[in-house]
Amino acid sequence: MSRVEVDEKIRRFTVMCRKTGLRLTPQRIEIYKHLVKTDEHPSAEILYEKVKKTFPNISFDTVNRTLLTLNEIGAAFIVEGSGDVRRFDGSMEKHQHFKCVKCKRIIDFHHKPFDIIKLPASIGKKFKILKKVVYVEGICDLCK
């Protein structure tokens, strides 16, 4: 993602923050910037290490709390998976994930039919649906 694109995302992020009453702290923007510019679906720990380069005194809790906040306001989300370290995604484009069970890499792909899967009516009626996910697990090209 180009510098210009990242800047544009940050601009839109600042608007989201103002709308939701969140303060625009330099830490928050820095965390968002690192999350949105990568497609590696980093953990809080990984982002903590990156943000430390600009904010040597930032605490892990601030990074983690901020990421949960981003998830709350819909600026990012927690990646689905089976019981590993929590991973975050700053891309709100419709897409799906492949996760390697060995190296834990999470790789984006987009298959349009997966965006519009229809649930049986019985489920839709009984529950309030927030998220429908198609998720693929296996061994990646580098590991096999």
CB of 136 to Zn ion, least distance (A): 13
CB of 110 to DNA, least distance (A): 26
Q: How far apart are CA 59 and CA 131, in angstroms?
A: 31
Q: Is residue 62 a contact point for DNA (CB under 7 A)?
A: yes
Candidate ranges 5-13, 56-64, 73-81, 93-101; the one touching Zn ion (CB under 5 A): 93-101
Closest C-alpha to 104, from 73, 78, 137, 68: 137
Q: How far apart are CA 102 and CA 120, in angstroms?
A: 34
Q: How far apart are CA 74 and CA 21, in angstroms?
A: 14
Q: Are 78 and 13 in contact (CB under 8 A)?
A: no
Q: Which residues contact 117 (CB under 8 A, 6 or more apart)?
A: 132, 134
Residue 1 or 24: the one with the smaller Cβ distance to DNA is 24
Candidate ranges 6-14, 20-28, 67-75, 83-91; the one touching Mn ion (CB under 5 A): 83-91
Q: Is residue 57 a contact point for DNA (CB under 7 A)?
A: yes
What does the binding site for DNA look like in residue numbers (CB under 7 A)? 17-18, 21-28, 43-45, 55, 57-62, 64-66, 68, 83, 85-86
